[in-house]
Amino acid sequence: MIALISSFLSAQDKVPNIRLKMINGKYAKLYDFLKEGPMIIDFWATWCEPCKKQMRYLDLFYNHFKPTGFNVLTVNTDSPKSMSKVKPYVRTKGFEFNVAVDPNSQVKKRLKVQEMPTTIIIDQDGSILYRHKGYVPGDEVGILKAITGILDKKGIEYLPLDLDKVQAIKKKEKLNIDF
């Protein structure tokens, strides 16, 4: 029992280097996404409304912080019954982040994810730096703070990101779409 307690107290909370099946059918390992910097791993499903609300911010973070080596991996947990919708959803929304599929929730369980969405920020060595369950509007501010905090700590330079401004610009761009 002493061994148990001492090990739990002294060991770091790291994610295991699990194997992932990517949306294109190929396999990858979790640590492949940590080669150039820290990353966000986010769990979502096409039927999960709060997940979908959060995803546009994740895509924004991915595109904005990509030059710093920061990565975003989303893990879709749709079961086979709705898996066919995942690719069209990602393509239609124009999301550019990495997408893995976890149709029988085994990756989700290994990363101790109980609710969706769950957002985890992982350092390059696999240690968990930030974890957040659920999404209500405003949570994206907390995630952004966590990202910039990690980059600041590592001394990595990045362009500042103003969420309100970006949304206004995006809206303007959309107005130009021909239909």
Give the CB-side neighbour count of residue 58, counting CA atoms within 13 A: 31
Chosen residue from 35, 36, 104, 153 binding another protein by CB under 8 A:
104
Report the distance separating Cα 117 and Cα 71, nearest Å: 18
Choose one: 16-24, 33-41, 64-72, 148-156; the region binding another protein (CB under 8 A): 16-24
Distance CA 88, CA 72 (A): 19
Q: Which of 11, 155, 157, 160 binds another protein (CB under 8 A)?
A: 11
Closest distance between another protein and the C-beta of residue 70, in Å? 19
Q: Which of 63, 69, 87, 166 binds another protein (CB under 8 A)?
A: 87
108 binds another protein (CB under 8 A): no
Q: Give the shortest CB-56-to-another protein separation in angstroms.
A: 9
User: Site size for another protein, by CB under 8 A?
Assistant: 67
Of 52 and 64, CB closest to another protein? 52
Among 35, 109, 154, 165, binds another protein (CB under 8 A): 109
Pick between residue 67 and residue 106 the one whose CB is nearest to another protein: 106
Asked if residue 103 binds another protein (CB under 8 A), the reply is yes
In the numeric block, the tokens 């986010």 are attached to 42
Q: Which of 69, 36, 58, 64 is nearest to 159 (CA)?
A: 64
Four-point Cα dihedral 113, 107, 105, 84, nearest 10? 120
For 101, the 3-state DSSP assignment is strand
What b/e readout covers 90-103, taking b as 16+ CB neighbours within 10 angstroms?
Answer: beeeebebbbbbbb
> Restricting to residues 44-83, which ones interact with another protein according to CB under 8 A?
46-49, 53, 79-83
